[in-house]
A and B are shown apart, each in its own frame.
Chain A
Amino acid sequence: MMIKRRIPIVLLGLSAALTTLGVPPAHADEHETEPVEPPKVELVLDVSGSMRAKDVGGRSRIAVAQEAFNDVVDALPETTDLGIRVLGATYGGDDKKLGCQDTQQLVPVGPVDRVKAKNAIATLRPTGFTPVGLALREAAKDLGTGETTRRIVLITDGEDTCAPPDPCEVARELAAQGTHLVVDTLGLIPDEKVRKQLVCIASATGGTYTSAQSKEDLTRRIKQIVERAKDTHTKTPAKVAGTDVCAKAPVLTPGVYTDRERFEEHRWYRIPVQPGQELRASVSIGLDRPLNRDYGVLLRATATDGRELVRGNDAGSGRTDVLSTGLRWSAAEDDEDEVEDDDKGGLFTDSTEKAPEPAVVCLVVSNSFSAKAGAGQAPGMPLELTIDLVDASPAPNSPGLGRGWVLLGVLILAGLLSGLIVGWLTRWWVAVWRTR
């Protein structure tokens, strides 16, 4: 009966223990970073002569694109700023020099007047050349600079006929300028050359490539990208330039940064870490150009004297978008004690007690990427660095205590046995005493 009464106490204890385990942490709060700007997207449509081809279910490519655009304009979220730019729409002549300047903004980036936008789309007639590179540059200008991500959706059916500039180089150059620009590309019945070019543009900016074979493909994808622009437009990370030695490295505070790193380059950063704080850092390097198969990234934290504190690394092979790694570091408690002992030098004086200096931790990012023949060195590959400083989590200590059902069983058995032994001994002793 007593046992039965005790069991609920144990259960009560268990449930109390479970509640101390804590509640799950919240998601990285998206509202916290609510940007003031609306999401900005520009659609760039190729209206060159090849769009006349009637091969999308028996209809011309331009007609399908126009219809898809109308659907997208209809379904556009209220908060999204949309612009439309065309290329090869006006110049019908043979002069390449003139034809390759042929790109106009049809609808300026801003809240969309649906009727006006649709009217503008309806007037488009396939005409001229395909100056993709120039159109991308102009589109980036249309979107302007601001604190959030910008998206360009490039829809084309033919390869660039105006290189140089090579559109892929233009994309990489735009991405390196610091404005967070993503180019999503859509190929309308693309051939091999178009596919290669569009894949190159997309991967240079962290965008996606889709091949559209039908009007449904095209509409669905553009809608998805426009939606995505709304869902995922985040504040652009701060731009920073790491140096080649720690002593001159930029001093970072918690937050997200971007930088560029070339092959075999080391980039250093400094972070002041207060005693009792934990440094958390992660780094991603984007694979924005054709690279050899195997690669790696290494993030090391060192003290100012070059002693390594901790490292994070990752390696891989094959196709991927970014390679990332991270690390945590906090000063070990023992280290602090040692430092204090050294300060005191054996004298028990309080005068040496002073506020502890923040430790400066150097972070260095290195990579083991190598370029395929023909892949350029400059600008470096995109690097994203996340720094966070939080309270350090000291090592737990729970020695001398046990848990689990086996422990309870063993304790109960031991208790029972000792009770029996003591009982028998008492009886034996009483019997002996009585016989006396």
Chain B
Amino acid sequence: MTMPKAPISARRAAVLLAAAGFAVALPAAASAETPTPSPGAATVNKAGTSFLTAAGISPGQPVRVGASVGDYLYWSFTAAAGDTHHVAATVSLPAAASRKGDSTWTVEVFDGLRRRQACVAGAQTPVASKSAATVELDCELRQVRSWAEPWSGDPLPGTYYVRLSGIELPEQELGLPIEVSLLVGVESDGDTEPEGGNLKEPLVPAVNPGKVLAGDPTASTPDPAAAGDEEDGWFDWVRWPSLSSRWYWTIGGGILAAVAGVVGFALTRPRQRVG
């Protein structure tokens, strides 16, 4: 039996296919580029002065606002699981003639529970020299998780607060006019960790005034809905993986493997000599 010719080209095709598959498999590294404003986004000309009064912005929307040295400026934006945010700000400082020394500026990000969020890259607290006309601030955040344990400080979907302020300023410079421009950029990647977890409610803080209850809290009636979910269903002993994209990947992979098996089997079959 001589080696059939057609299967060779089929083999080559298979190799090419596999190579192509691996080329796609290389993950695109999260780039830390400076965010650019999205086309057509209206410029926001305001800033809040506290967590409760933070001015709402959306990623890609440029902010330009006049302020004074010593102000604490607050903005808030909304994040979804899989987002990686990048906050970039520029502060135009007062004229050098009225300046008295170096100043340190900071951009801080807090989540919906006012917990400080880490910046993984960027000049978060730059120092402006006495003669500098502007100072650039930059903070790249971690990717927003879809779920995290209550005890962890991982970034979760919900509201995020940005606070821009001077942390070390010459006292004589307080009150002088500055101009602040800020932009929040976002890169979304559907690949969220941990897979299949989700936060029932995003971290959006309460804003209405609360009410103090009188009397003993233990005497309040329990929620009937919460009481009756101890039902034994079928197959409860099986910990079914929750519905997630992993199901599709695994099923798709199985199908592809079966197809590849059939192809492999076909490759070894001697060519039928018809006529």
One digit per residue, 1 when the CB lies within 8 angstroms of any chain B CB and 0 when it does not, for chain A 198-218 equals 110000001111110000010
Q: A392: nearest residue on chain B (CB-CB)?
A: B200
Which of B32-40, B85-93, B130-138, B149-157 is near enough to bind chain A? B149-157
Residues of the B chain whose Cβ atoms lie less than 8 Å from the Cβ of A274: 222-223, 226
Rounded to whole Å, the gap between the CB of B243 and the closest CB of chain A is 7
Q: Which of B48, B190, B207 contacts A33 (CB under 8 A)? A: B207
Q: Which of B66, B169, B202, B248 lies at the interface centre, i.e. has the most chain A CB atoms within 10 A of its CB? A: B248
Contacting residues of chain A (118-176) with chain B, CB-CB under 8 angstroms: 147, 149
Q: A252-B212, A282-B115, A404-B25 are in contact. Are A14 and B217 (CB under 8 A)?
A: no
A327 touches B113 (CB 8 A): yes
One digit per residue, 1 when the CB lies within 8 angstroms of any chain B CB and 0 when it does not, for chain A 209-248 equals 1110000010011001001100110111110100000000
CA distance A404 to B189 in the complex (A): 13
CA distance A308 to B180 in the complex (A): 43
A423 touches B269 (CB 8 A): yes
A270 touches B209 (CB 8 A): no
Residues of the B chain whose Cβ atoms lie less than 8 Å from the Cβ of A266: none
**Count of CB-CB pairs between chains A and B under 8 Å:** 408
B210 touches A251 (CB 8 A): no
A419 touches B68 (CB 8 A): no
B190 touches A18 (CB 8 A): yes
Residues of the B chain whose Cβ atoms lie less than 8 Å from the Cβ of A236: 209
Judge whether B167 is part of the interface by a CB distance below 8 angstroms.
Answer: yes
Judge whether B268 is part of the interface by a CB distance below 8 angstroms.
Answer: yes
One digit per residue, 1 when the CB lies within 8 angstroms of any chain A CB and 0 when it does not, for chain B 19-41 equals 00110110000000000000000
B217 touches A235 (CB 8 A): no
CA distance A422 to B266 in the complex (A): 10
CA distance A236 to B253 in the complex (A): 56
Q: Which of A255, A324, A360, A416 contacts B260 (CB under 8 A)? A: A416
Residues of the B chain whose Cβ atoms lie less than 8 Å from the Cβ of A283: 114
Q: A28-B205, A195-B175, A405-B24 are in contact. Are A14 and B196 (CB under 8 A)?
A: no
Q: A279: nearest residue on chain B (CB-CB)?
A: B150
Residues of the A chain whose Cβ atoms lie less than 8 Å from the Cβ of B17: 3, 412
CA distance A422 to B25 in the complex (A): 28
B165 touches A319 (CB 8 A): yes
Residues of the A chain whose Cβ atoms lie less than 8 Å from the Cβ of B78: 24-27
Residues of the A chain whose Cβ atoms lie less than 8 Å from the Cβ of B259: 2-3, 6, 412, 415
Rounded to whole Å, the gap between the CB of B48 and the closest CB of chain A is 5
A412 touches B248 (CB 8 A): no
Judge whether B272 is part of the interface by a CB distance below 8 angstroms.
Answer: no
Judge whether A384 is part of the interface by a CB distance below 8 angstroms.
Answer: yes
Which of A108-116, A350-358, A363-371 is near enough to bind chain B? A350-358
Interface majority SS (helix, strand, loop, mixed), chain A: mixed
A255 touches B220 (CB 8 A): no
Residues of the A chain whose Cβ atoms lie less than 8 Å from the Cβ of B241: 397-401
Judge whether B242 is part of the interface by a CB distance below 8 angstroms.
Answer: yes
CA distance A87 to B159 in the complex (A): 43
Rounded to whole Å, the gap between the CB of B144 and the closest CB of chain A is 10
B175 touches A209 (CB 8 A): yes
Rounded to whole Å, the gap between the CB of A318 and the closest CB of chain B is 4
Q: B225: nearest residue on chain A (CB-CB)?
A: A276
Q: A252-B210, A325-B115 are in contact. Are A407 and B253 (CB under 8 A)?
A: yes
One digit per residue, 1 when the CB lies within 8 angstroms of any chain B CB and 0 when it does not, for chain A 316-338 equals 00111110111111100000000
Residues of the B chain whose Cβ atoms lie less than 8 Å from the Cβ of A28: 76, 159, 204-205, 207
Q: A231-B55, A398-B241 are in contact. Are A21 and B146 (CB under 8 A)?
A: yes
Residues of A near any B CB (own CB < 8 A) = 2-3, 6, 9-10, 13-14, 16-18, 20-28, 30, 32-33, 147, 149, 182, 187, 190, 192, 195-196, 198-199, 206-211, 217, 220-221, 224, 227-228, 231-232, 234-238, 240, 250-257, 270-272, 274-278, 280-284, 310, 312, 314, 318-322, 324-330, 355-358, 360, 384, 386-388, 390-393, 395-409, 411-424, 426-427
Smallest CB-CB A-B distances: 6 pairs: A255-B210, A419-B264, A326-B113, A423-B268, A13-B248, A17-B245
Selected A-B contacts with CB under 8 Å, 26 pairs: A9-B252, A13-B247, A17-B248, A23-B80, A25-B158, A211-B176, A231-B46, A232-B55, A237-B52, A237-B210, A238-B209, A251-B215, A252-B211, A278-B200, A324-B114, A324-B115, A391-B200, A397-B240, A399-B241, A401-B241, A402-B249, A405-B24, A416-B14, A419-B264, A423-B266, A423-B267
Q: A17-B244, A209-B174, A391-B200 are in contact. List 20 more A-B contacts (CB 8 A).
A: A13-B251, A20-B243, A27-B159, A217-B177, A235-B208, A240-B212, A252-B211, A255-B208, A282-B205, A319-B165, A386-B114, A393-B147, A397-B242, A409-B18, A409-B25, A416-B264, A419-B263, A419-B264, A421-B264, A426-B265
